[in-house]
């Protein structure tokens, strides 16, 4: 189940708001400039399907976002607990950083935890299958896929170079909960 928890940026222990209702999550994030949507596939998608099949299944929504946001590149990333570089990849995303463009992720399968440092708040967003999140350019954030990652996500980029991070050097991410992927996810 998707979840939003909002914390004061100095207290990663006690959320000031918690929501699991998708409409409430979308409204809270929307008020902070963050897009959060639910998508459905237009055709069945199965584990192991090619990037082309996965992208085609969500083509209508992808085309809408490309038209709205000028995205040029679309790809699919898939990480599982057996990936030999899982620890290195997890660490890469755990520190607070920004991007020069929106970070757009749609979860085809599995889950991941985005934490957005907006003003004096940290919005922790558990994204699961069917969730699209678009973190606005220059928004400080970090991502945790958990110690046993399990997700397939569609990524959209304006910059054909793809994911380019600018790390803030802040230790804030270490003050907030890490993601422990639920068993069976």
Angle formed at CA 130 by CA 115 and CA 148, multiple of 5 degrees? 55
- Cα separation of 142 and 167, whole Å? 10
Q: What is the pTM of this model?
A: 0.93
Lowest pLDDT segment from 44-48, 163-167, 171-175 = 44-48
Half-sphere exposure of 173 (CA within 13 A, CB side): 23
The answer to whether residue 185 scores a pLDDT higher than 50 is: no
pLDDT digits (tens, 9 = 90+) for 66-101: 999 999 999 999 999 999 999 999 999 999 999 999
Architecture of domain 3-163: Sandwich (2.60)
Q: Which two tokens stand for residue 16?
A: 């000031």
Asked if residue 96 lies in contact with residue 117, where contact means CB atoms within 8 angstroms, the answer is yes
Sign of CA dihedral 71, 37, 79, 181: positive
What is the average pLDDT score of the chain? 93
Taking CA atoms, 127 is separated from 29, 62, 72, 146, 151, in Å, by 13, 18, 24, 12, 10
Sign of CA dihedral 53, 58, 63, 66: negative
Portion of the chain with pLDDT greater than 90, in percent: 86
pLDDT digits (tens, 9 = 90+) for 23-53: 999 999 999 999 999 999 998 887 778 999 9
């Amino acid at each position: 189940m998707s979840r939003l928890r909002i914390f004061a940026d100095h207290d990663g222990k006690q959320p000031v708001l918690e929501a699991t209702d998708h409409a409430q999550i979308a409204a809270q994030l929307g008020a902070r400039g963050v897009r959060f949507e639910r998508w459905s596939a237009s055709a069945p998608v199965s584990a192991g399907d090619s990037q082309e099949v996965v992208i085609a299944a969500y083509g209508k929504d992808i085309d809408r976002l490309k038209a709205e946001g000028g995205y040029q590149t679309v790809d699919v990333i898939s990480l599982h607990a057996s990936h030999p570089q899982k620890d290195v990849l997890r660490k890469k995303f755990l520190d607070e950083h920004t991007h020069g463009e929106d970070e757009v992720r749609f979860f085809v399968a599995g889950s991941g935890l985005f934490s957005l440092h907006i003003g004096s708040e940290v919005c922790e967003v558990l994204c699961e299958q069917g969730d699209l999140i678009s973190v606005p350019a220059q928004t400080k954030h970090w991502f945790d896929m958990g110690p046993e990652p399990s997700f397939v996500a569609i990524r959209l980029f304006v910059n054909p170079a793809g994911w380019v991070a600018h790390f803030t050097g802040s230790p804030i991410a270490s003050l907030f909960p890490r993601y422990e992927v639920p068993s069976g996810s």
